[in-house]
Every structure is written in structure tokens, then in C-alpha cells.
Chains A and B, each alone.
Chain A
Amino acid sequence: MGDYLIYTDPTKCVACHSCEVACKAKNHVPAGATLGKIVVMGPGMINGSPAMSSLFVPCFHCEDAWCMNACPVDAIRKSDENGLVYIIRDLCVGCKACILACPWHIPQWDPDAGKAMKCDMCMDRIEEGEEPACVAACPTNALQFGEPTRLSHQSREDYAFKLLKRNPRK
């Protein structure tokens, strides 16, 4: 995801879909399309007990992006600054090659404009020091946004401090 990650904590996610709605409202995404998508499994009965889990799937902002390589008019670019992959809307000719090329078909189709659109991780918000709209809207902190190293440190520290608190040194 460029230099960033969006991490889903399934224990906190209640499948409310605020992330999707906030994304749609902010990016003017037409009905039926979703730039960032929350994929929810369940609730369902597993061994007699109800269970559920979820994972947020925005664009992965690949290092060697299939969509960008497939675009015949160079409308898809990768930011030198933060590695985010985005579409220059004015250049897009609506051929849909990016949608086909992406292994997860993540770019979306805007039928009104006749152009492709995709998650740019809210580059404009990031530039202003804000989190992407999906993460900012999440009411339970189930989505966390940051640099991979910071998230890794955070998760390990949370885990380790929990253990240490349980077994404090005398």
C-alpha cells in the first residue's frame, strides 16, 4: 500500500460499513461501486457458537502495479513521495484495462463519467495530516492507518505489554 497500510482489527469491527459510506461520500462514488470495501464473513454458527470476522480491502497500492502497467494512456501514476497509486481523471479514456489487469479488480467503474476510479488512500487528506476517510469514520477503531513499521511496533508493543502486565517482575 505504498508506504502505508490499513489494518483491520476483526475483534473491534462490528460490520457497520461506516468506512464504505464515508469513502463513497468523500470520493463521490456512484451507487454500486466501492473504493474501499469491508468484507464480512458471518455472523454464522461455527461449532455451535455464533462467530464473525472481517477484513477491509482498499487498493493495495502495489509496488509494481498491474493497473498502472496496463493503462495505455499513462493515466495511472505512482507518487514518488509516498508510493500511492492514483488515476489522473482527465487522462482516463475509460478503456477499463486497469480493472481487468488488477488481480483483485480493485479499480471501479463510474458509469456517469465513463471513467475508472480507484482508492488513492485519500492522498489529499494524508497531505493535510489526516487519516483516510474510511479510517477516520470507523467508530470502533477497528481500522488503523499508518506506516507498516509503526503498525508493527504498535501491535508488538500492545501484545508484549499485555503479557508483561500479567506477569510483572517482583
Chain B
Amino acid sequence: MKKKIYTLCFMCSVRCPIAVVVEDDKIVSIEGNPHVPAMKGVCPKGAAAVGWLDDPQRVQAPMIRTGPRGSGQWKKVGWNEALDYTADRCKEIFAQYGAKSAVYCERVNLVTDLSKTFLKAIGSPNYFSHDTICKGSINTACRSLIGYTDGQITADWSNARQVILYGRNVFESVEVKAMNALLDAMGKGTKLTYIDPRVSITAAKAHNYMMIRPGTDLALNYALMHVIIKQHLYDVQYVDRWVEGLHRLSAFVDTYTPEWAEVETGIPAGEIIRLAKEASRAKPAVVFHYGYRGSHHPTEIYFRRSIMMLNALMGSIESPGGIVIKKGPKDAGLDAGIRKFSDQEFPPMEDARRFDGCGQDKFPIADAAHGVGAMFPSAVLNEDPYPIKVLFAFRFDPLYSNFDYQQSLKALQKLDLIVSCDINFGGTTSLADVILPESLFLERSDPLQMGAGLKPAVNRRIACIKPRYDTQPMWWILKQLAERLGVGEYFPYETIEDIWQYQLADMGIGIEAFEEKGFVSLSDKPIRWDRNDGIKFKTPSGKIEFTSSLLEDNGFPSFPPYEPLEVSDDRFRLMVGRCIAHTNVMTQNNPYLNELVPENRLWINAKRAAALGVNDGETVAVSSSAGEGRIRAFVTDMIHPEAVFMLHGFGHREPESRRSCGRGMADAEVQEAIMDNVGGSPALDHTLVSVSKL
């Protein structure tokens, strides 16, 4: 008998709502959840999930390493042995160095509440998420202006009339719902402007594409603000009501004319003026998108702030067709939301100093909920502020995600214990001491998700089929570890049903309510606040702070002068990005996705390539002070002469992952350890690299 099950995907962190048809414990099809508008199909990663199910190259059982790190020598063990081993090693290490010697990193997912519970229970302050490396500075930028993180806002794509994207490659780095909403809006006349040194699929779909000089988007935005303010193109009433610091911004952008920006960005002054006017005509139904990944340059936070300021000038924040603040259960009239395990009372921490100094001395305004993951390798190597001995890497691969591969590798090699939870053998997993394999999302149920949004909802992931191999869900693994470490009391559940019941205890919703659609909607209509008087900005002033108290109270300027970007005659600015077939560094070994995009290439401008004598398809060496790698060239006129580009996620060296091993090059090999020291993101697109013919 066929059965349709509504659940949540986890091929990437978007977690699209899907409908899975199952028969005889086999997956028949995976499609979009038809109860969710704009969620008809799935992206290729969703379609390829089944490729992982029976893949003999998956991690099939708990493993303990028997050979040197990275040798691919493992002993298959039972769960008890793997968990006992992990806990015994931890106890030994914690006895000498304290629990703070353990750092826990993960891809934020539905068990994050339990990950944080685990750390609080064992007494370590050291957590970081994938988000910090991906977009820490966008988070900080948004909080400095409106008091919300980027995760707490979204774009009202369906109603926007002008959409401006800075490398936000919506049609390749996709959220299915957002992509469809934008495509539908474009079908009804919405205009799309795309700014990127490289021609992506999104560039090809845009009405207006600007090939900007790499790394100069901030200059473009200062000029846009200049035009918008000087020519009174902004929403005067909205800005008067909601913005703190317009006059300071106005004085600040005085010298940043379109003519000045033309020299820096390569975009003609006339085009900058035209864009400002076009956007203004559509206000407030304008989206200057704040970005998805925000880890490009050392000035990242100021660039992301400039985007949000443009939205504020358009009056678009919390306006239909603009940027909207996501609403939660309380906004929908409920007394309470999902109950969190991490809100329990925990014993005080012996030492609250974090490995990354996030929210403390080193990064006072970065978000401690995500940490500053880029600091992990240097904290380990320099034992600053104290020795780090244990890493829990759960569904996240810091080795290939951070800059400076060699530094990360040294740091991982220095650790006494690496505990990895993975589906397949990733870079960090391949170096681990013990692997605790998680079941694939199709094989496991997870804690419920509070889906904040214009229409808030609670969403559920539920197991569609039985695990194919000896794997477990993470909520089970964490409880087992906690029990062995003597802190099991903070995990008051046995089954997933217990967890759901605990989470829903204050909401008056029963779990049976999820059967019909896979989610429970908390509001029939979109919840919008009155943009004249009802917007609840969470800044100290209750306004949009161009002059930011968060920045200035911590000794950072709100308006630092623009620093022109170095021009290099012989090197290239290395840009990295995503394609639709892969999620970060995780999916390159999936049989279907590997077939679709098996390796990356180095995009290089045809004229620069000719000068170097490099032909299309030839292998070249790419180098920087961080290291060197080899990759085949893609010679094209679709990239700015000052930039080269490669897809992130390739160059795997794990012998167990035979399809992806040795294919392409890892960007981390040459990315230098450059940071945005205010916002907290690594600057992954700032390294100047040399390219040479072999």
C-alpha cells in the first residue's frame, strides 16, 4: 500500500516541506508538500536524497579509528562500544582540562536545542554553528540596525516590484519557495537587478545585470545612498518616523558620488543613478536583498549594513513587497511557543570564557548563539585562551568550510579526540577518532521546528522508512552520551513522541494535528505590523539605527570611511560560490549529485587567460600564502578580469568517498585567514591568488 508522508527535507539547511510516497518500506517519490504554496517540486538535492539511502559508501555503523588519522582504517563497532569509548575518553580529558576543552560545532538543525542542552549540561561554553562561517556578519549587521538577526527577517518576494541582488544567486543557491515566489512575481512584471563579477544563472534571468569589480559592492551602495538622499528619492515619512541617524549618513555619503563609484566599481555613474531612480519609483515594494552567505570581505558587516540601510531608505522594512520581520507564536496570539530543553536550569559553568571570545573580548558583538567558528583552528593551535582537546563535529565539516586548509588540518591533528556525526565520510569525519552515524532525514523523526514567518507554523520531520544501516537519530545519540557523562537528567525523554509532547506542552496543540499536512499553521493570514506606527524594532531606540548603539557602545564606528580595494596586475581576487547540485562540502559524493556536478573549474576571464597562455580545460596551479591547489580552467568572458571563481565544496581527499576523492580543488587550500573582525565572518572572497600554467 502506498502512503504519502509529509516531512522536512535536510539535503540542505533550508529544510523544504516535502511529500514522500512510500511503499513496502521503499521510497517511491519525493515531491514538494502540496499544502505549502510555491512548493510543487524539489531541487535536485532533494530528488537525489534516495541516492544516499542504499549507498555502500555511506557510514553504515558506528566506527572507531584503528589507523593514523585520514588513513581510512576503521573498526566497525556496536553503539554501546562507540558511546562508551567516546564518554570514557571525554571523562579522561575533562578530568585534566575541564569540560571547556570540548568544542561542539554543527550545522544548525532540528536538534540544535538539544546540542545546546548537551553543552550546558556538561559545562562547556564552546559552541559554533555553520552559520557563523557562512553569514555571521549579516547577522551582526542586521542586529546593529533593526535588532533582529537575518534569520528573523525574510523578503516578501511575491509582492516585490523591484528586486536587487548582490551575488545572492537565488536560482542556484536555492530556497524552493523563495525561488518560485520570485519567478512568479517576475512573470507579473517584477524587475530583477543582479550585481556580481560573475555571470550566474541568476544573472542570465535578470533584467539588469551589472558586472561589478570584485569586492566593491560597498562603494556602489554608498553611491546609491548618495543619489537617493541628495535627490530626495527616499520615503520621507517612513524615514522620519523610523530612522535614527539620517543626517549623519547624509553627511557621510556626501563625497561618495556616482562618478566616484564608477571608478571604484566599473559601473557607469548613469547606471547607478538609473538604479536608484527605478528602485525609488517602486518603493516601498523594493527588496535590496541582504544576502544568504555573507563572508566575503573584511568590511562585510558594513556592506551588509549598507544593503539594509537602502531598504530603510525605501521604507521597505516591514512593508508589503519589501523586507518583512518573521512572526512567532506570540504574534499569532498564543501565550507560548515551543518549550526548549536548553531553557532548563543548569549548574553554573566553571569557566565561561569562550574559545572564540564571541560576545566577550575578541568579538564583542558577534552572535554568541552561533559563535565565531573561523577562530577554532587558531584557538586550538595557540591554546588561546586555554587548551582545546575535544571536537564534536555534528553534521558539519570545519576542515573544508573554514579558510586556510593547512591551518585547519594542523588544528584537527592536534586534538586528542574528534567525535563526528555524519551521513558519509566528509573531511573532518575522515580524521575522526569515533564516528556516530546519524540516520538520513528520510529514516528519522526529529524534534519539531518552530517556523517563524508571515504565517508562523510548527513543522514536523517524521521518519518515512526504517534505517537502512546501523544508524541513529541525533537526539538519541546525545541522550546516550549525556547519560554516560552523568548528565542524563537533562534529557527527559525516551522516544521522539516524548520530545514532541515536551515541546508542545504549552501550546495546546496535539501531535495528531500534524498528520494531515505535516505542519500546524498558527495564523490563516499573513501577520503584518502597521508600518506607520506598529513596527517592533528590537534596537535600544526602537528604531532603525543608522547610528548604531550596538556598534558605537562597543567602540566600533557606524560609518567608517570607504577603503579603496587594492588593484593587482598579476593576481586575481578569488571568489567562491555554490551551484544548485551541492550543499556546501557535504554532497559531492552523493551518486546522483556527483554525476551532475563531479568537479569544480576555475573561471578565468578570457583576456587574462590568453595573457597567461592558459587554454580552456587545461589544469592550472592556483596559489596564495595559504597554499596551492590544482584545478582545470574554464576560460570565459562571463567573469570580471580581476576575479577568478571556483565552486566551493570540491577537492575532497577522503579515501572512503571514492566518487568525490581527488576531484577538483578545495577553495580552503588557498583562502588566507582574513576576517571581518567586527561582524565575525571569515572573508572567504578576499584572497588574492596567482594562477599559473603548468
Interface: B538 (CB within 8 A): no
Q: Which residue of B lies closest to A51 (CB)?
A: B204
A18 to B209 alpha-carbon distance, docked (Å):
26
Q: Which residues of A contact B183 (CB under 8 A)?
A: 12, 14, 140
Interface: A126 (CB within 8 A): no
A51 to B171 alpha-carbon distance, docked (Å):
14
Residue from A11, A32, A52, A137 within 8 A of B595 (CB atoms): A32
Interface: B542 (CB within 8 A): no
CB contact list, B27-65 vs A, under 8 A: 28-32, 40-44, 46-48, 50-51
Which residue among B29, B46, B203, B209 has the maximum number of chain A CB atoms within 10 Å of its CB? Answer: B29
Interface: A164 (CB within 8 A): no
Q: Mark B352-382, 1 if CB is under 8 A from A, else 0.
A: 0000000000000000000000000000000
A50 touches B203 (CB 8 A): yes
Interface: B205 (CB within 8 A): yes
A49 to B201 alpha-carbon distance, docked (Å):
12
Q: Mark B167-181, 1 if CB is under 8 A from A, else 0.
A: 000011010100110
Report the minimal beta-carbon distance from B231 to chain A, rounded to whole angstroms: 27
Q: Which residue of A lies closest to B594 (CB)?
A: A31
CB contact list, A1-53 vs B, under 8 A: 11-12, 14-18, 20-22, 24-26, 31-32, 42-45, 49-52
Interface: A133 (CB within 8 A): yes
Residue from A14, A20, A44, A137 within 8 A of B205 (CB atoms): A14
Q: Which residue of A lies closest to B208 (CB)?
A: A49
Report the minimal beta-carbon distance from B533 to chain A, rounded to whole angstroms: 35
Q: Which residues of A contact B591 (CB under 8 A)?
A: 31
CB contact list, A52-102 vs B, under 8 A: 52
Residue from B28, B31, B32, B203 within 8 A of A43 (CB atoms): B203
A25 to B43 alpha-carbon distance, docked (Å):
13
A11 touches B187 (CB 8 A): yes
Given contacts A12-B183, A16-B43, A17-B44, contact A133 B29 (CB under 8 A): yes
A14 to B50 alpha-carbon distance, docked (Å):
22
Report the minimal beta-carbon distance from A46 to chain B, rounded to whole angstroms: 10
Given contacts A14-B172, A16-B44, contact A137 B204 (CB under 8 A): no
Report the minimal beta-carbon distance from A10 to chain B, rounded to whole angstroms: 10
Q: Which residues of B contact A24 (CB under 8 A)?
A: 592
Q: Which residues of B contact A18 (CB under 8 A)?
A: 41-44, 46-47
A139 touches B29 (CB 8 A): no
Interface: B596 (CB within 8 A): yes
B180 touches A50 (CB 8 A): no
Given contacts A45-B638, A141-B40, contact A136 B596 (CB under 8 A): no
Q: Which residues of A contact B187 (CB under 8 A)?
A: 11-12
Interface: A138 (CB within 8 A): yes
Given contacts A16-B580, A17-B596, A32-B595, contact A25 B51 (CB under 8 A): yes
Size category of the binding interface on chain B = 35 or more
Report the minimal beta-carbon distance from B524 to chain A, rounded to whole angstroms: 25
A50 touches B204 (CB 8 A): yes
Report the minimal beta-carbon distance from B84 to chain A, rounded to whole angstroms: 38
B179 touches A25 (CB 8 A): no
Which residue among A11, A26, A133, A137 has the maximum number of chain B CB atoms within 10 Å of its CB? Answer: A137
Residue from A16, A26, A44, A49 within 8 A of B209 (CB atoms): A49
Q: Which residue of A lies closest to B46 (CB)?
A: A18
Residue from A15, A25, A139 within 8 A of B32 (CB atoms): A139
A49 to B203 alpha-carbon distance, docked (Å):
9
Q: Which residues of B contact A31 (CB under 8 A)?
A: 591, 595
B41 touches A137 (CB 8 A): yes
Interface: B581 (CB within 8 A): yes
Interface: B200 (CB within 8 A): yes
A50 touches B41 (CB 8 A): no
B180 touches A140 (CB 8 A): yes
Interface: B515 (CB within 8 A): no
Report the minimal beta-carbon distance from A113 to chain B, rounded to whole angstroms: 17
Q: Which residues of A contact B30 (CB under 8 A)?
A: 22, 137
B180 touches A139 (CB 8 A): yes
Q: Which residues of B contact A16 (CB under 8 A)?
A: 43-44, 174, 580-581
Q: Which residue of A lies closest to B659 (CB)?
A: A31
Interface: B637 (CB within 8 A): yes
Q: Mark B585-597, 1 if CB is under 8 A from A, else 0.
A: 0000001110110
Given contacts A43-B638, A139-B40, A141-B180, contact A21 B48 (CB under 8 A): yes
Size category of the binding interface on chain A = 20 to 34
Residue from B28, B32, B201, B638 within 8 A of A14 (CB atoms): B201
Report the minimal beta-carbon distance from B198 to chain A, rounded to whole angstroms: 10
Interface: B199 (CB within 8 A): yes
Q: Which residue of A lies closest to B41 (CB)?
A: A139
Q: Which residues of B contact A12 (CB under 8 A)?
A: 183, 187
B42 touches A50 (CB 8 A): no
Report the minimal beta-carbon distance from A92 to chain B, rounded to whole angstroms: 24
Given contacts A44-B638, A50-B638, contact A140 B29 (CB under 8 A): no
A17 touches B581 (CB 8 A): yes
A31 to B31 alpha-carbon distance, docked (Å):
22
A52 to B203 alpha-carbon distance, docked (Å):
10
Q: Which residue of A lies closest to B595 (CB)?
A: A31
Report the minimal beta-carbon distance from A31 to chain B, rounded to whole angstroms: 5
Report the minimal beta-carbon distance from A7 to chain B, rounded to whole angstroms: 15
CB contact list, B523-558 vs A, under 8 A: none
Q: Mark B571-612, 1 if CB is under 8 A from A, else 0.
A: 000000000110000000001110110000000000000000
B201 touches A45 (CB 8 A): no
A21 to B29 alpha-carbon distance, docked (Å):
11
Residue from A20, A25, A43 within 8 A of B199 (CB atoms): A43
Q: Mark A138-164, 1 if CB is under 8 A from B, else 0.
A: 111100000000000000000000000
Residue from A44, A50, A139 within 8 A of B176 (CB atoms): A139
Report the minimal beta-carbon distance from A84 to chain B, rounded to whole angstroms: 19
Q: Which residue of B lies closest to A23 (CB)?
A: B47
B179 touches A14 (CB 8 A): yes
Q: Which residues of B contact A21 (CB under 8 A)?
A: 44, 47-48, 592-593, 596
Given contacts A14-B179, A16-B43, contact A137 B31 (CB under 8 A): yes
Report the minimal beta-carbon distance from B275 to chain A, rounded to whole angstroms: 16
A32 to B171 alpha-carbon distance, docked (Å):
25
A141 to B177 alpha-carbon distance, docked (Å):
12
A26 to B595 alpha-carbon distance, docked (Å):
16
Given contacts A49-B209, A139-B32, A139-B43, contact A43 B592 (CB under 8 A): no
A26 to B47 alpha-carbon distance, docked (Å):
9
Q: Which residues of B contact A17 (CB under 8 A)?
A: 44, 580-581, 596
A43 to B183 alpha-carbon distance, docked (Å):
17
A50 to B193 alpha-carbon distance, docked (Å):
12
A137 touches B203 (CB 8 A): no
B48 touches A25 (CB 8 A): yes
Residue from A22, A42, A49, A141 within 8 A of B47 (CB atoms): A22
A15 to B31 alpha-carbon distance, docked (Å):
18
24 contacting pairs across A/B (C-beta < 8 A): A14-B174, A14-B179, A16-B581, A17-B596, A18-B44, A18-B46, A20-B44, A20-B596, A21-B593, A25-B47, A25-B48, A31-B591, A42-B204, A43-B201, A50-B199, A50-B209, A50-B638, A52-B204, A137-B29, A137-B30, A139-B180, A140-B41, A140-B180, A141-B41
Given A43-B204, A141-B41, A141-B180, 15 extra CB contacts under 8 A = A14-B183, A18-B43, A21-B593, A42-B204, A43-B199, A43-B201, A43-B203, A50-B204, A52-B204, A139-B32, A139-B41, A139-B174, A139-B179, A139-B180, A140-B179
A-B CB proximity, top 3 nearest: A43-B204, A139-B41, A21-B47
